[in-house]
Amino acid sequence: MEEQGTRELDGDELFEHFRFVASKGQEPLRVDKFLMNFIENATRNKIQQAAKTGNIWVNDAIVKQNYKVKAGDEVKVLFEHPPHELLLVPENIPLNIVYEDETLLVVDKPPGMVVHPGHGNYSGTLINGLIHHLEHLPMNTNERPGLVHRIDKDTSGLLVVAKTEAAMTHLAKQFFDKTSEREYVALVWGNMDNDTGKIEGHIGRNPKNRLQMQVFPDGEEGKEAITHYKVLERLGYVTLVSCKLETGRTHQIRVHMKHIGHTLFNDVRYGGDRILKGTVFTKYRQFVENCFKALPRQALHAKTLGFVHPKTGKQMQFDSVIPDDMMQCIEKWRGYSKQSRG
């Protein structure tokens, strides 16, 4: 169980609060380590500061950072952070806008850029750049200006942004009704058995690590998620695949691919930063480490995006070139694969 929100204390300072209930299978674990597993972008130092100021509670009692969390414990923490209005400061950030009219724009997001401000990412986000570029953006239900959908920080590629309330409503309905088109290109560990396939499995938070999502195949938890994949190129110990989304769950492709045994290459959060296929011989290990250096993120790119224009009713289709870091990694694997076959 998890809750998150903000509240004002002492008139001026705004605090972000989190509440978790440790799952039945929770082994005893220091509260600072427990919270590191549960709160994205929370540093050890920030958690320790919260402990020092008496802002961590377990079962409504203030605890120190070395308290051991047990199954069933209710853990609460307060973090000070800038007021909401400071999170939405316009910043002159270069944006790769591939299309724009009075109704919407499409941006090609580079890897490493966070889409919207939040805990630990108060500046340098796509939203900060967008509100510098535009005077007004409509607010969605999560108070994120212009956003109809999002992609992860280390995923590159295409996003559509609404510039009017009507456009946001129209585009959001297309995403909800699954009529928008989204194709991603991913490099995954292993040689996939089938050339095409459909992955179905509800996706929800991992109860033991809230920074991860997981598949609940029986559908007892989480939300429905469907991914269609097609093999583009087989490169020995890795495979280049195209993934089309029917649904848009958090980390959907990353989680679905791991679920079928093909974790994304260099996906740190889901274990893809380890050698999952192939040998452990020194030359091969060095080759894989060189690939990790070329692509210091998960190998995932939002390549194509299609939707009906909210105003004109025309079908819009956009395609994005795979970024250099991902192409370098793919080329390395192409070379290794040819060498191995030779």
Known catalytic residues? 152
Max Cα distance, the chain (Å): 71
Spatial distance between the Cα atoms of 48 and 277, rounded to a whole number of angstroms: 38
Question: Quick check: helix, strand or coil at residue 21?
Answer: strand
Q: Who's near 129: CB < 8 A, 6+ residues apart?
A: 91, 92, 93, 94, 95
Instruction: For CA atoms 89, 90, 93, 99, give the dihedral sign.
Output: positive
d(CA 13, CA 23) in angstroms, rounded, equals 32
CA separation for the pair 251, 76 (Å, rounded)? 25
Cα gap 89→225, rounded to integer Å: 34
Which phi and psi (to 5°) does residue 264 adopt? -60, 140
In angstroms, the CA 180 to CA 169 distance is 14
How far apart, in Å, are the Cα atoms of 138 and each of 118, 130, 167, 206? 18, 12, 9, 33
Q: Which of 50, 72, 81 is nearest to 63 (CA)?
A: 50
d(CA 342, CA 336): 10
CB-count exposure of residue 27 (10 Å: 0-12, 13-18, 19+): exposed
Check if the beta carbon of residue 270 is closer than 8 Å to that of residue 316: no
Whole-number Å distance between alpha carbons of 65 and 51: 6
